[in-house]
Amino acid sequence: MSEVSSSAEALTNLVLTLFRVNNATLIWGDRLVEPFGLTSARWQIMGAIAYADRPQPVAWLARDLGANRQNVQRIVNELAKDDLVAFETNPHHKRAQLVVLTTAGRQAYEAAVRAWFPAAGNLAKDIPSDDLATALRVLGTLRNRLAESGADAEDRSA
């Protein structure tokens, strides 16, 4: 077996830590938003809807999230069943309806956001903002390289 470069080893450790952080973040996020009838997954999708410039179909939401379209569709259907999102006619495509937050959905989403900022402040306590900016830059670079290699949501949503 060939020798592993120190960069490859460091990246391996980073990715393994990302997996653990992702899992812990989802558990933490689920607990944070549970009082509002949400899960981390539901909240993430509602955020994509809330931050979009205009209503979008599920496929576009999935693309923006870097997620699998079928998984996003399943969660959107659950949100619709709970009256947190609704579907509108898409003038550009007969079958790809647009997804919008309902009044109840917007209220739940905004309550979750209000809970987020103090909780995020506690998590970020004593981490220098320069360190957070560096982490964001590194993760952004990795995401771009993975997308360039074809490891993006479009390949998984067909």
Q: Is 107 part of a structural domain of the chain?
A: yes
Read out DSSP for 47-114?
Answer: HHHHHSSS-EEHHHHHHHHT--HHHHHHHHHHHHHTTSEEEE--TT-SSS-EEEE-HHHHHHHHHHHH
What is residue 94's predicted lDDT score, i.e. its pLDDT? Answer: 80
What is residue 158's predicted lDDT score, i.e. its pLDDT? Answer: 35
> If we measure between CA atoms, which residue out of 40, 60, 47 comes closest to residue 153?
60
The enclosing domain of 113 has a CATH number of: 1.10.10.10
The count of structural domains within the chain is 1
Q: Is 28 part of a structural domain of the chain?
A: yes
What is residue 92's predicted lDDT score, i.e. its pLDDT? Answer: 86
Q: Is 42 part of a structural domain of the chain?
A: yes
Q: Is 1 part of a structural domain of the chain?
A: no
> If we measure between CA atoms, which residue out of 104, 90, 111, 134 comes closest to residue 35?
111
What is residue 4's predicted lDDT score, i.e. its pLDDT? Answer: 87
Q: Is 39 part of a structural domain of the chain?
A: yes
DSSP secondary structure code for residue 34 in this structure: G
Q: Is 73 part of a structural domain of the chain?
A: yes
- Residue ranges, the chain, pLDDT below 50: 155-158
- Per residue in 78-91, pLDDT (tens digit) is 999 999 999 999 88
Residue 20 sits in which domain range? Answer: 6-156
What is residue 156's predicted lDDT score, i.e. its pLDDT? Answer: 43
Instruction: Give the Cα separation of 96 and 77 in Å (integer).
Output: 13
Q: Is 118 part of a structural domain of the chain?
A: yes
